[in-house]
């Protein structure tokens, strides 16, 4: 099936009459074609026919070429000799807006990163404002110098000239359209992009990598689907524990199951639950905005509040779900399937009981959060399934019980529930090895390799980033050096002591709408001299979703996000500013909290783990690369002398990080 509404060789395009081309575009359109769209297509067809006539070159033309990860279509894609041209037309426009430049650049970068037969090709993004005057023709490569040119702005009369200049500027072999056409498209979307694609009916296979080094997410979703079907058919109650390294797609798996069963009248109606407030708010807002936009494109009006109400049916804050279940302790929830994201962060008994006493006026509450949540689904008389999506080494806050409490709850109170787990739950970072030994004599425990996602997808340029960060934080220098060497040519990790240098580097690396931002530990309270205040309120929705013209967005590099804001989410490029809360010393990491006017040692092992995990979260947020800033400090300030920072900097430098 063609990804374009119209795809022909250049010669066929030139010989087809305008009405025939327009008719094919209209027939293949997903929406009713308005007069403005019809006129835009007529303008594009006429302009390109004039520009391509007489070139006599081998190639093909594609109108409305689909880019699923971005949920959009390229106006015109042209294969000509050795170059892929990406055209974005702004019919009737005189100006070249920055958003339009980013749009066409995004298309070009998407092809370069995710379309197999475009990886090694020169790609030229061209922005055409049909009413603009002639522009100076500037043809340059970006900082990454991977064959994707910077956007070229031109008028209608300059298209042929631009094509000639680009063909002369770029090198490469002639592209065979037939071979190029069959190239696979294997994107790695952000969680926001993935949620929008799934919500709009795309399958996991449409929006995930499927190369030889990546775990096929379809296997995991299929395994869960079979468990749900079995539970329904046989009236079982089952819990499924899905494990995975940071960025491997656990949340994506949960969203896939939830989006397939959003009909409340369906017996397998599901809900995606997360205690991660920023993640839930961002996903709900992003999906609502996207739904409003799509309805507007189809000529229908929809208020964002209405759209958000629909979204909330299947993506909810776990605490809201809990509160609803507290109202009537005997009534089961409407959903038979509940998917808990970041299940390792559920509260232990002490934290849950304290909350219930303070906020809900319920003294003597005797259940941890995992035990209570399982009990809610257990109210169903026939069947129920709980799916726990578990990240290793990501508990970052007081009272987070880890996966061990889910298993303890099952042993204490739900002996009849079937347990489906990954054998990888034995790994030390999940902290469940001792409890799993207790399950060895339980007959209804089933191990399934497909329930573990071991290859990170967030860092699509290299799956070894998570391993690098693990070795770095474990102070395994040799392994860290090896991991860094393996990713050096695809995923830059650089080091500096100057924040302005870091900001400049970020801006140089980013292309199109690549999102970048600064992240810091929530304990990093002595970065105020650098205009970084972790206590200053920031809105994660604006920070993650708004554009470059909004001062509240991550792009402005003013507001910073902490581990609590970014866990489960990602940036394309990250600046991690490392404070004196976690200090490298010859005897290992030292952990500190800033109280009053001075740093105090953190002695409790649990709090030390939270701080280390906070840096694990921060250092695994970037999809394409990151810069780490270790400030120099000042001996004039007793809260941040050079000695608090120098050893950390030297340790990172010794691993081999490139110094800016």
* Whole-number Å distance between alpha carbons of 333 and 380: 8
Task: Indicate the class that CATH gives domain 214-280+314-453.
Answer: alpha beta
State pTM to two decimals: 0.84
pLDDT of residue 131: 94
Classify 160 in phi/psi space as left (phi over 0), alpha (psi -120 to 50) or beta.
alpha
- DSSP type of residue 347: B
In this prediction, residue 186 carries a pLDDT of 78
pLDDT at 193: 82
Name residue 434's beta-bridge partners: none
Residue whose tokens read 């929705």: 541
pLDDT tens for residues 564-601?
Answer: 999 888 999 999 999 999 999 999 999 999 999 999 99
**Which residue matches tokens 């190369």?**
211
Cα(76)–Cα(65) distance, integer angstroms: 7
Q: What is the per-residue DSSP string for 392-438?
A: TT---STTB--HHHHHHHHHHH-TTSEEEE-GGGGSGGGT-HHHHHH
Confidence (pLDDT) at 211: 42
pLDDT of 505 reads: 97
Domain-wise residue ranges, the chain: 4-181, 214-280+314-453, 465-659
Give one DSSP letter per residue of 483-521, joined into a string. HHHHHTTTS-EEEES-HHHHHHHHHHH--TT--EEEEE-
- DSSP H stretches of helix in 97-208: 98-114, 159-169, 177-181, 191-199, 204-207
Residues 550-575 as b/e (b if ≥16 CB within 10 A, e otherwise) read: eeebbbebebbbbbebbbbbbbbbbb
Report the pLDDT value the prediction gives residue 212, as an integer from 0 to 100.
35
Angle at 409 between CA 404 and CA 415, to 5 degrees: 125
Could you tell me how far CA 522 lies from the centroid of its own chain?
Answer: 21
List of residues 6+ apart from 516 with CB closer than 8 A: 506, 507, 509, 510, 554, 555, 557, 571, 572, 573, 574, 575
Q: What is the pLDDT of residues 530-547, one digit of tens each?
A: 999 999 889 999 999 999
pLDDT at residue 265 in the model: 67
465-659 and 214-280+314-453 share a CATH fold: yes
**Per-residue model confidence (pLDDT) at position 214:** 45
- Within 8 A by CB and 6+ apart from 209, the residues are 186, 187, 188, 457, 460
What is the per-residue pLDDT across 360-398, written as a single tens digit (0 to 9) for each? 888 989 999 999 999 999 999 999 999 999 876 666 677
Q: What pLDDT score was predicted for residue 457?
A: 63
Q: Which of 446, 384, 375 is nearest to 412 (CA)?
A: 375
Ranges of residues in the chain whose predicted pLDDT is under 50: 209-214
pLDDT confidence of residue 461: 58
- Reference 492, options 614, 628, 615, 612; nearest CA is 628
Say if CB 73 and CB 66 are below 8 A apart: yes
Q: Could you say which architecture CATH assigns to the domain 465-659?
A: 3-Layer(aba) Sandwich (3.40)
Q: Which two tokens stand for residue 531?
A: 């205009």
Going by the DSSP 8-state scheme, the letter that residue 458 receives in this structure is S
């Amino acid at each position: 099936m063609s990804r374009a509404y119209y795809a022909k060789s250049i010669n066929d395009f030139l010989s087809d009459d305008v009405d025939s081309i327009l008719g094919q575009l209209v027939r293949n359109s997903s929406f009713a074609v308005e007069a403005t769209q019809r006129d835009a297509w007529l303008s594009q067809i006429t302009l390109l026919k004039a520009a391509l006539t007489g070139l006599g070159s081998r190639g093909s033309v594609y109108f409305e070429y689909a880019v699923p990860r971005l949920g959009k279509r390229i106006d015109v894609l042209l294969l000509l000799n050795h170059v892929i041209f990406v055209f974005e037309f702004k019919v009737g426009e005189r100006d070249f807006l920055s958003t339009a430049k980013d749009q066409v650049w995004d298309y070009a970068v998407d092809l370069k990163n995710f379309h197999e037969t475009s990886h090694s090709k020169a790609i030229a993004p061209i922005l055409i404002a049909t009413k603009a005057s002639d522009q100076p023709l500037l043809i340059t490569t970006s900082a990454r110098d991977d064959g994707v040119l910077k956007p070229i702005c031109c008028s209608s009369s300059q298209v042929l000239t631009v094509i000639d200049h680009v063909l002369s500027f770029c090198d490469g072999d002639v592209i065979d359209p037939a071979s190029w056409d069959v190239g696979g498209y294997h994107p790695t979307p952000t969680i926001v992009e993935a949620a929008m694609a799934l919500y709009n009916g795309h399958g996991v296979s449409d929006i995930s990598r499927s190369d030889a080094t990546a775990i096929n997410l379809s296997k995991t979703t299929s395994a869960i689907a079979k468990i749900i079907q079995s539970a329904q058919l046989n009236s079982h109650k089952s819990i499924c524990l899905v494990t995975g390294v940071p960025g491997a797609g656990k949340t994506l798996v949960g969203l896939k199951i939830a989006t397939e069963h959003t009909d409340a009248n369906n017996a397998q109606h599901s809900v995606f639950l997360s205690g991660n407030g920023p993640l839930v708010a961002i996903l709900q807002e992003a999906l609502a905005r996207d739904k409003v936009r799509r309805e507007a494109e189809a000529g229908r009006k929809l208020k964002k509040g209405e759209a958000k109400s629909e979204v909330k049916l299947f993506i909810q804050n776990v605490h809201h779900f809990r509160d609803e279940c507290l109202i009537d302790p005997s009534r089961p929830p409407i959903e038979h399937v509940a998917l808990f994201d970041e299940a390792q962060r559920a509260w232990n008994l002490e934290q849950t009981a304290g909350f219930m006493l303070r906020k809900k006026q319920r003294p003597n509450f005797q259940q941890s959060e995992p035990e209570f949540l399982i009990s809610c689904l257990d109210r169903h008389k026939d069947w129920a399934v709980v799916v726990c999506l578990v990240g290793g080494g990501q508990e970052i806050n007081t009272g987070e019980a880890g996966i061990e409490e889910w298993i303890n709850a099952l042993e204490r109170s739900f002996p009849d529930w079937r347990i489906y787990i990954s054998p990888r739950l034995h790994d030390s970072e999940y902290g469940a090895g001792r409890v799993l030994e207790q399950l060895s004599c339980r007959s209804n425990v089933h191990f399934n390799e497909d329930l573990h996602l071991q290859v990170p997808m967030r860092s699509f340029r290299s799956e070894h980033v998570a391993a690098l960060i693990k070795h770095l934080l474990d102070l395994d220098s040799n392994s860290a050096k090896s991991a860094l060497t393996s990713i050096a040519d695809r995923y830059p990790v650089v080091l500096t002591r100057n924040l302005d240098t870091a900001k400049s580097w970020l801006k140089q690396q980013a292309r199109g709408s690549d999102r970048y931002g600064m992240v810091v530990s929530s304990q990093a309270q002595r970065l105020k001299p650098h205009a970084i205040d972790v206590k200053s309120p920031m809105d994660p929705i604006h920070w993650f979703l708004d554009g470059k013209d909004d001062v509240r967005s991550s792009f402005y590099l003013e507001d910073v996000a902490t581990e609590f804001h970014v866990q489960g989410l990602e940036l394309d490029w990250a600046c991690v500013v490392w404070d004196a809360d976690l200090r490298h010393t010859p005897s290992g990491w030292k952990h500190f909290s800033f109280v009053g006017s001075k740093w105090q040692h953190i002695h409790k092992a649990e709090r030390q783990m939270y701080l280390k995990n906070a840096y694990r979260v921060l250092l695994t947020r970037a999809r394409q690369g990151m810069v780490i800033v270790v400030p120099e400090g000042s001996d004039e300030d007793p809260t941040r002398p050079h000695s608090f920072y120098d050893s950390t900097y030297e340790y990172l430098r010794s691993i081999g990080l490139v110094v800016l």
